[in-house]
Amino acid sequence: MQDYSPYLKFAISLAETAGVIIETGWYGTFQTFEKGSGGDLVTEIDIAAEKAIFDRVRSTYPDHGTYGEESGGGSPLKEGFVWVVDPVDGTTNFSHRFPFVAVSIGLLYNGVPVVGVVYNPILKEIFTAIKGGGTLFQGKQVHVSTIQHLPRSLLATGFAYDRRETNDNNYREFCHMTQVSQGVRRAGSAALDLAGVAVGRFDGYWERGLKPWDIAAGILLVEEAGGKITSYEGGPLVLESGRILASNGLIHDQMIKELKL
């Protein structure tokens, strides 16, 4: 098995570099712009953080691909090593100083996540995973929750930026899952939602309208913590599909059933 640990160490340093940029904006001022969809924000901090990350990746690993939110994509995801980055996951939160903000860095090898780092520089929380090596939170091994029944579970979800223009907007699922669980939280960062499943804060998570950079790191966090990642229907997850279902594994089939409504 290939040793991915040097890449994990590098990914952590990248996240910390971006974290300094985020903190500078958090305690200072920054410009905010609106992208194509209404409410889809980007700040100069997002742009600066992604540039800092990819500049270091390209100088250190020039043969690796890059795929980022502010770049609008990048290298083919299934060819060799590709760094998949959301420099500020939760930009709307960031723009309002709501502290659920994260740098999300995932390294894929032939389309499979092998390294994942999610770092909240405001709350100083870091989640890391390496394929075959488990998931760490603040440097300590963690595992998913042991809740076995959906009515006793706490779930997380989110809504895509196109929710105003499409009927496939997750509103119906949100209301239904709120009824059949102990509650559903919507904090505005897919990366941190997946990290929450990995450490047992949440028992399950689902969402639509996502991009690979939202979930590439979080997928590995959940899997290496003993959880399960699939499509809504229970099949293999396709990164580009925009839909993800994550859980502790124990309530997974129950979530699939309820999401079918």
Instruction: Note the pLDDT tens digit of each residue in 203-250.
Output: 999 999 999 999 999 999 999 999 999 999 999 999 999 999 999 999
Residues 20 and 82 occupy one common structural domain: yes
Q: Tell me what pLDDT residue 24 has.
A: 96
Q: Tell me what pLDDT residue 250 has.
A: 98
The CATH number covering residue 163 comes to: 3.40.190.80
**CB-CB contact of 169 with 227 (8 Å):** no
Is residue 44 very low, low, confident or very high in pLDDT (cuts 50, 70, 90)?
very high
Residues 160 and 54 occupy one common structural domain: no
**CB-CB contact of 208 with 63 (8 Å):** no
Mean of the pLDDT values across residues 166-184? Answer: 92
Mean of the pLDDT values across residues 89-112? Answer: 97
**CB-CB contact of 15 with 29 (8 Å):** no
Residues 132 and 191 occupy one common structural domain: no
Mean of the pLDDT values across residues 76-94? Answer: 96
End position of a domain, from candidates 142, 171, 191: 142
Residue 1 reports pLDDT greater than 90: no
User: pLDDT exceeding 90 applies to what percent of the chain?
Assistant: 89
Q: Tell me what pLDDT residue 38 has.
A: 60
**CB-CB contact of 116 with 218 (8 Å):** yes
Residues 75 and 168 occupy one common structural domain: no
Residues 16 and 136 occupy one common structural domain: yes
Residues 44 and 108 occupy one common structural domain: yes
Residues 176 and 228 occupy one common structural domain: yes
The CATH number covering residue 14 comes to: 3.30.540.10
Range of the domain at 120: 5-142
Is residue 36 very low, low, confident or very high in pLDDT (cuts 50, 70, 90)?
low
Mean pLDDT, the chain, rounded, equals 95
State how far the Cα of 197 lies from the Cα of 230, in Å rounded to an integer. 14
Residues 11 and 136 occupy one common structural domain: yes
Q: Is 162 exposed, middle or buried (0-12, 13-18, 19+ CB in 10 A)?
A: middle
State how far the Cα of 173 lies from the Cα of 168, in Å rounded to an integer. 10
Mean of the pLDDT values across residues 103-121? Answer: 98
End position of a domain, from candidates 95, 114, 142: 142
Q: Tell me what pLDDT residue 37 has.
A: 58
Is residue 35 very low, low, confident or very high in pLDDT (cuts 50, 70, 90)?
confident
Residues 98 and 174 occupy one common structural domain: no
Is residue 109 very low, low, confident or very high in pLDDT (cuts 50, 70, 90)?
very high
User: What is the number of other CB atoms lying within 10 angstroms of the CB of residue 240?
Assistant: 9
Residues 57 and 167 occupy one common structural domain: no
Tokens, residue 2: 């290939």
- Say how many domains are in the chain: 2
Q: What is the pTM of this model?
A: 0.96
Residues 60 and 82 occupy one common structural domain: yes
Residues 130 and 154 occupy one common structural domain: no
End position of a domain, from candidates 82, 113, 142: 142
**CB-CB contact of 217 with 118 (8 Å):** yes
